[in-house]
Amino acid sequence: MNIQQVKAMMELQALGNLGSIASSSSEGTNMFQTVLDRALQTTGTDTLGSVQNLLNTMPHHASSPTLALSQENDARKSQETGIDSIISRAAERYGIPAKLIHSVVKQESGYDPSATSHAGAAGLMQLMPGTARGLGVTDVFDPEQNVFAGSKYLKQMLVKYDGDMKLALAAYNAGPGNVDKYSGVPPFKETKNYVRKIMDSYYA
């Protein structure tokens, strides 16, 4: 390795963008390798400038292309089916972020209005029969009724737990009785994963 190549490596490591590029995902690793390979091939006196220009052409965040594509597909699906409009109106009515409702819908049903679970939950926000009746739902598979009822229930949980999103989501999944019993997110694997996945989607 000649002096020019060593200089390229040292200058590349000095750039503050490495943390966001070399993420733990395979996409991030491949991206970093591409930067490194091309930096080693850089010639001329302005090596740092060349490498910086290269970095500026790449996305400076940890989200992988796979995640970005998944989010784009979800957005397209919700728009094509009219669910996006329903969620926006429900968010406005109940004063909660539309993105939070989207994250719950994605986790619960994958935007499938006809989704059902082995436990009997149904629709976009997977309402249990008793919960649906209590919220005045007459057709659990009707997207608007389901989303508005689910959003209303989610808002009730947010109020109950003073805006603590993790506790509200845990209550939505496992019931407020379990959240109160354990004074926090219940130690159920399903509930813990549920809360984590929705929080990750919400903050993505």
Residue (of 175, 125, 171, 168) closest to 150 by Cα position: 125
Active-site position among 80, 92, 108, 190: 108
Q: Are 171 and 154 in contact (CB under 8 A)?
A: no
- Give the Cα separation of 140 and 153 in Å (integer): 14
- Say whether 108 is catalytic: yes
Residue-by-residue pLDDT tens, the chain, 204 positions: 555 554 544 554 544 444 444 444 444 444 445 444 554 454 444 444 444 444 344 443 344 455 555 556 666 655 656 999 999 999 999 999 999 999 999 999 999 999 999 999 999 999 999 999 999 999 999 999 999 999 999 999 999 999 999 999 999 999 999 999 999 999 999 999 999 999 999 999
Residue (of 115, 100, 105) closest to 78 by Cα position: 105
pTM above 0.75, yes or no: no
